[in-house]
Amino acid sequence: MSVVLAITFIFCIIIARLFYVQVIWGSELVIRAADQWNREIPVVASRGRIYDRNGRLLAGNRTTYAVFARPNSIEDKDYAALCLAPLLGEDEGELREKLEGNASEVTLARQVEKQTVEDIITLDIDGIYYSADNTRVYTYGDALCQVLGLTSGDGAGISGIEKMYDEVLRGEDGQILYTTDIVGNQTENTSIVYECARDGDDIRLTIDMDIQLAAEQAIREVYYSTGALGASCIVLDPSNFDILAMVNYPSYDLNDAPRDDMTTLNKLSRNTVVCDIYEPGSTFKVLTAAADIQEYLNGNKSAFSPGYVFNGSRTRTVDGTTIKCWSDHANGKHSNQTLAQALNNSCNPCFTDIALALGTETFYGYLSAFGLGNVTGIDFSGEALGMLVPQSLVRDCDLARIGFGQTVAVTGLQLACAVASAVNGGKYYVPHLIKSYSSDDGEVTEYEPVLKNTTISGEASAMLVSMLEGVVREGSGTRAYIEGYRVGGKTGTAQKYEDGGVAAGKYVSSFVGFFPADEPRYLALVIVDEPQGTYYGSAVAAPVAKSIFEDIISIKNIPPSG
């Protein structure tokens, strides 16, 4: 009886094992077997193209080739390495090591030109084959380089839009399957299976390349004329926060990137408008004025009315800290003035008064609504948070300085979006670079503007816009004035800090402006880092914005406002 039970037990184990191998493990074993007896030649998907909002091609593809080898099929590896190395630009010893490896297939080179492949074919070396590949080509070279970004040697996005939307752009590779013997040699009468590649989807950006090129030229000129460390610009549509242009200079040619010098490449490919922060200085006064106007309309008795006349004293003392105006107030300059006049004159003490009068809780509420200390949510990786003293730690002397743009740091994008919301009626949208993307079957996915929050009311916005028009018409921003057009804006000149103190002779000059003032459609923020000689934003940055606006007027054929 025990013998029968033992036999039965063993028989059950065998049956269970067969069931496991054939049913449960079977599919995996089939895959392993197929992998041993089948080889693949990749069919590379064409990467999706990138266009501007008007359909101009920004990034496309040029057909090149990838060269592969089946080492087991190559009889004379020395000869193969000797002949192939100079054609592929590879070291002969390293190439021979690849051919002597244990892999059934190895990639010898990517993005090889057609003529090189034709030369390889004439060598008639068994075990060498090729397939179509893609080389990325950028239509405008260095224009928009930090935004578009780069792809790696194998076609994957490694920076910028190329990286952010890599899954959309890259598609899905296909393959050619064929059977081999156990050592990897192709068998006679082998069956070949072709699996099509699915090309990547095309992307359309919000960028207007005409405006981009105009901004590039203006920024390039101010960079060289002032000997600046760097210069940047962002142009956006305040009605929906479409990014129309984004410039960082110096730049580099996307078609000839310095890939062998990663330090230089990383520096030049950095999108400083999005990823770097700076102390904005007087351009920040737009936000302080907006908060004051809205609180006045709300009935807050601590706020100052548009007709209130501020004390004309040059200094304010807060927590033992003396805050001065940039002007010496001599000969009655900056004497008693209204909020509009304080904006015209960019008088620091007036904005110190506003910040302190509103108080930490109220003022910080507006800073939060304007997106300070937080990301905007733009579809671009590496966006900086900015820097804002935590509300629980801020002192009166800190609050006083924040009022006129010190003791606070922003990205160019943050400030541009904040000001855009202040002049467009109070609507803060999520800024974006993608307008739409489309697949090969014609399906188009459109981006819809996302309203993030409301900053101020339409009435407060209209009052602020009128004051900022005055800054350009008769205040510090007159070099951005364009006859016949309603332009508003604000200048900024900020000292730079190093090692905890003011860096002597180092400034950031800026100007933020918009037009038409009655219905803003174009807003530009110009930032010039460490200009040499004249450094005031009114003299350095405002003329750049004017140049960009004049080009937009010409490009879009915008008639005068009267």
- As annotated, the active-site residues are 282
Pair 215, 207: CB distance under 8 Å: no
Q: Which of 398, 381, 378, 382 is nearest to 390 (CA)?
A: 398
DSSP state of 23: I
Report the SS3 class of residue 527.
Answer: strand
CB-based burial of residue 482 (10 Å sphere; 0-12 exposed, 13-18 middle, 19+ buried)? middle
For residues 28 and 304, give the distance between their C-alpha atoms in angstroms, rounded to a whole number.
76
Q: E-strand spans in 345-500?
A: 387-388, 408-409, 427-429, 434-438, 444-446, 451-454, 488-498
Q: Which of 279, 272, 509 is nearest to 387 (CA)?
A: 279
What is the identity of the amino acid at 278?
Y
Report the SS3 class of residue 19.
Answer: helix
For residues 319 and 174, give the distance between their C-alpha atoms in angstroms, rounded to a whole number.
69
**What element of type H or E holds 42?**
strand 38-43
For residues 231 and 538, give the distance between their C-alpha atoms in angstroms, rounded to a whole number.
15
For residues 429 and 376, give the distance between their C-alpha atoms in angstroms, rounded to a whole number.
9
